[in-house]
Amino acid sequence: MVDRGLHVYVGAPGSGKTFLADIHGRTLAGARGVGGLCIDSTGSSGLEHWKRAESVSDAVDAVWDRNELVRYTPGDVDELQQLLGAARNPGRCVFLLDEVALWPARLKELDHLCRTWRHTDTDVLVTAQHLSGDIAQGLRACSPRLYAFRQAPSTTLDLLSKEWKLPEDQLQTLGQGDFLMAGPIDWHALKT
Ligand SMILES: Nc1ncnc2c1ncn2[C@@H]1O[C@H](COP(=O)(O)OP(=O)(O)O)[C@@H](O)[C@H]1O
Ligand SMILES: [Mg+2]
């Protein structure tokens, strides 16, 4: 079972971020009986359970009219902002954003969504190779549940060890699919 809320999956390419986020997203949507929208930033393999949408409106109809699991690769930031907006209003869905760092660092709609997930009833799952700069700032402010996969030496590794108190040496030697978890524990009360 996975808790409701804001989940961040961080690690090197191929470490297992999308694999786990996919399972969590599908589990949450199934348990809640709501639709799921996956922003497939890279056209990633491993998201085949989410039906590919051909347009923003196609995706919106599938998620909110038919409670389906849908993935879409936005053509530009404007399309992404529209979908982030829909995740807040009407909300009540699961929103999986794969590889957030491919988008501009300051996505105001993402900040809003992460801050208001309880209110909007949307679980937010974000994967990223690094937690650098603005993205880290925005996400950190919202106390996410963090899943730290294998990480090479980097500013992200420093951050994971300093801010989240995760052991640096262990982070560098995690196997594929292995992760360390950190973040708020009071969310157990919010289990689906
Ligand atoms: N826990 C796991 N069990 C089995 N296979 C896994 C696991 N985690 C990842 N994999 C496999 O490893 C590969 C890379 O995982 P992926 O999640 O796509 O990496 P990332 O998103 O971090 O780049 C995929 O083929 C995936 O199926
Ligand atoms: Mg991935």
Digit-by-digit pLDDT tens for the chain (192 residues) are: 789 999 999 999 999 999 999 999 999 999 999 999 999 999 888 999 999 999 999 999 999 999 999 999 999 999 999 999 999 999 999 999 999 999 988 888 999 999 999 999 999 999 999 987 777 788 888 989 999 999 999 999 999 999 889 999 999 999 999 999 998 754 444 444
The residue range of the domain holding 69 is: 6-190
Which secondary-structure segment (H or E) carries 95?
strand 93-98
151 lines ligand 1 (CB under 6 A): no
Q: Is residue 27 part of a domain?
A: yes
d(CA 138, CA 110): 9
The answer to whether the beta carbons of residues 129 and 68 sit under 8 Å apart is no
Q: Is residue 152 part of a domain?
A: yes
d(CA 186, CA 108): 27
DSSP designation for 38: E
CA of 39 to the centre of ligand 2 (A): 12
13 lines ligand 1 (CB under 6 A): yes
- The values of phi and psi at residue 164, to 5°, are -105, 0
Phi/psi region, residue 179 (left: phi>0; alpha: psi -120 to 50; beta: rest), is: beta
Q: How many domains does the chain have?
A: 1
> Tokens representing 27?
């589990």
What pTM did the predictor assign? 0.94
Nearest to 94 by CA among 119, 116, 75, 121: 121
Q: Is residue 156 part of a domain?
A: yes
Q: Is residue 178 part of a domain?
A: yes
CA of 128 to the centre of ligand 1 (A): 14
Q: Is residue 1 part of a domain?
A: no
Say which residue the tokens 């992460």 belong to: 114
Kindly report the CA angle at 9 between 6 and 13, in degrees rounded to 5? 155
Q: Which ligand 1 atom sits closest to the C-alpha of 129?
A: 22
- The values of phi and psi at residue 85, to 5°, are -65, -40
The CATH number that applies at residue 32 is 3.40.50.300
